[in-house]
Chains A and B, each alone.
Chain A
Amino acid sequence: MKYDVVVVGSGPAGSVTARFAAESGANVLIIERRQEVGVPVLCGEGVSKGVDEFKVLEGKRWLANNMDGARIISPDGTMVKLAADMAGDETGYVLYRDIFDQELARGAIRAGAELMLNTCAVNILKENGKINGVKAKQFGEEFDIEADIVVGADGVESKIGRWAGMKTTLKPYDLETCAQYTLSNVEFDRAYCDFYLGKKIAPGGYAWIFPKGKDIANVGIGILASLSEPGMSLKLLDKFINSRPELKKGEPLRFLAGAVPVAEPIESVRDNLLLVGDAARQVDPITGGGLMASIEAGKTAGETIGKAIDEQRFDKEMLLPYEEKLKNTLYKKLKRNYVVKEIILGMEDKTLNMLADSLKDYKFDELSTLSLVKALVLKHPSLLIKLKPLLKLSRL
C-alpha cells in the first residue's frame, strides 16, 4: 500500500489536513482506530463563531445551539459577562461533535482522500533512517502503509511524534484531566456558556455548563493533573452538580472522561513528518479549546503538504513553512495565553473575586481572551508588571 500522505487520526486536525492536502492534488489516506469517526465524543462541544471563516463545514446538522456569549463566575459567585452587543447576535456555537467530526471527514473524502476505520497505527516505518510510512493494525493483522509524508493527528496521546523521537510527553502541569456529563432535564440560561472558577470547585481549571438545547447541557470539569488526586475530576464534578438544585435534578445522557493538553505548542516538523492539532499541543492553554486551532493548523499543514507533493520534496526544510506560518499567527496567541494561564494559576480565590468584581459591569467590545486581558490591565495597572512578558509576546 503506497500513498503520498498517510494521516493518523480522523479528528478535526487530521480531516482538515487531509482535505487541504487532497485538494492540492495529493493522494491521501486517513487511518482511524475507532469504528466510527467522532464517536465516542470527548468534548465540551463549544466553539467560537469564527469557525465559519474556514468554510470547512456544510449545512448546519452539526449545530446544537447558538450562543450569545460567555459568563465567568468567580469563586464567590460574581459574574463577568462577555457577550455580543445585541441579543440574538450569536458569538459561538455548541456542537454535536460527532456530526461535526463526520462532516469534516466528509469534506476530506469529497476532496479525494480515502478513510480506513478500525485501523490503528502501531509504529512508524523507516528505511535508511528515513520515515516512509506507518505500521498499522486492523482486526489483529499488521501491515505496512508506505507514504512520503506521515501526519501525526493522533490527539493528546501523540504517539506518532514520540515514535519519531519528538518530546511529546506532557508534564502533569500541562494537562487538564476532565470529566463531563451531558445532562437532560436541567435548567440554565441557554444563551450563555458558563465557566466557574475556584480552587474548591476545580483546582487549576474550571467547571463548565455548555447548553446544547432547551433543557440539555454539557456539564463538565477540568483540573490540572499536577493538582489532581486519583479520580478527583469525577468526584468534584459530582460535587458541583449536587450542590446546584437546577443541575441535581438532571439525568445523564452521556458520560465521558477527557484529557486536554494546556502546554505550549511543540516542535511539529521533521523530515517526512508533521504533527497537527492536540498532537502538536495546538490548544488554547486558558480555555482548553482546541477545535479552532486544529482547523487553522490543519489547513496550513494541508496546503504545505500540497506544495511538497508538487515539488516531490519531503524534507524538513520543505515542510517547515507550516510551522513558520503558525509561529506568526496562531502560536503568538497560544504562547501569550500560556503566560496568562500561569498568572491565573498563581492567583488566590480572593484575587479572582476582586478582579471579577472590578469587571462585572465592564462592556467588552469583543469576546476573546485578549479582550479580557486588556480589560484587566485597564482596571488594574499594577497587573501590567506581571503581564509584561505577555505584552512583549503579543507585540512580536
Chain B
Amino acid sequence: MGKPKALVDKGKCLACGGCISVCPQDAITMCSSKAIVSKENCIDCGICIHACPVGAISNEVY
C-alpha cells in the first residue's frame, strides 16, 4: 500500500485557487478550471484539505 496523498474531487472543485496558494510543495496546479495534485510532490501535510471552502479535497491512499 502506498502513502496517502491529497486528491481533488473534480466534480466539487470550483477553481478558487486557495489550495494552490497555501501548498508548501507547489504540488497543485489549475488545469482546465480544476485543481490537480501532483502525487510526486505532495507530502500529505493536509493544509490544502483544510483550506478548501467546499470540501473538494481528501487524502487517498494510492
Contact = CB atoms under 8 A, between A and B. Distances in A.
A228 B19 CA distance: 13
A259 B21 contact: yes
Contacts of A228: 50-51, 53
Contacts of B29: 159
Given A157-B17, A258-B16, A175 B22 contact: yes
Interface string A341-371: 0000000000000000000000000000000
A231 B49 CA distance: 9
* Most A CB within 10 A of own CB, among B14, B23, B47, B52: B52
Interface in A132-182: 155-159, 162, 168-172, 175, 177-179
Contacts, number: 92
Interface string B1-32: 00000000000001111101111101001100
Interface in B35-53: 47, 49-53
B28 to A, nearest CB: 9
Contact of A177 (B30, B51, B58): B51
A225 interface: yes
B17 A230 contact: no
A68 B14 CA distance: 32
A21 B51 CA distance: 36
Contacts of B14: 255-257
* Most B CB within 10 A of own CB, among A172, A179, A225: A225
Given A178-B16, A256-B14, A156 B21 contact: yes
| Interface size range on B against A | 20 to 34
Nearest to A229: B50
B16 A170 contact: no
Given A172-B47, A225-B18, A259-B16, A177 B53 contact: yes
B51 A225 contact: yes
B53 A179 contact: yes
A11 to B, nearest CB: 12
A169 B26 CA distance: 8
A124 interface: no
Contact of A234 (B20, B47, B55, B58): B55
A232 B55 CA distance: 7
Contacts of B21: 156-158, 168-170, 175, 259, 261
A31 to B, nearest CB: 14
Nearest to A155: B17
Interface residues of A, number: 33
A233 interface: yes
B17 to A, nearest CB: 4
A231 B18 CA distance: 12
A18 B17 CA distance: 23
Interface in A221-264: 225, 228-234, 255-259, 261
A230 B55 contact: yes
Contacts of A256: 14, 16
Contact of B24 (A169, A231, A234): A169
Contacts of A168: 21
B8 to A, nearest CB: 12
Contacts of A258: 16, 18, 53
B16 A231 contact: no
Nearest to B19: A259
Contacts of A175: 18, 21-22, 51
B53 A233 contact: yes
B53 A231 contact: yes
A157 B30 contact: yes
A373 interface: no
Contacts of B16: 42, 156, 177-178, 256-259
14 contacts: A42-B16, A156-B20, A157-B21, A158-B21, A172-B22, A172-B51, A175-B18, A179-B54, A228-B51, A230-B58, A232-B53, A234-B54, A259-B16, A259-B18
Interface of A: 33, 40, 42, 120, 155-159, 162, 168-172, 175, 177-179, 225, 228-234, 255-259, 261
Given A228-B51, A233-B53, 15 more contacts: A42-B16, A120-B30, A157-B20, A157-B30, A170-B22, A177-B18, A178-B16, A178-B53, A179-B53, A179-B54, A225-B22, A232-B55, A257-B18, A258-B16, A259-B16
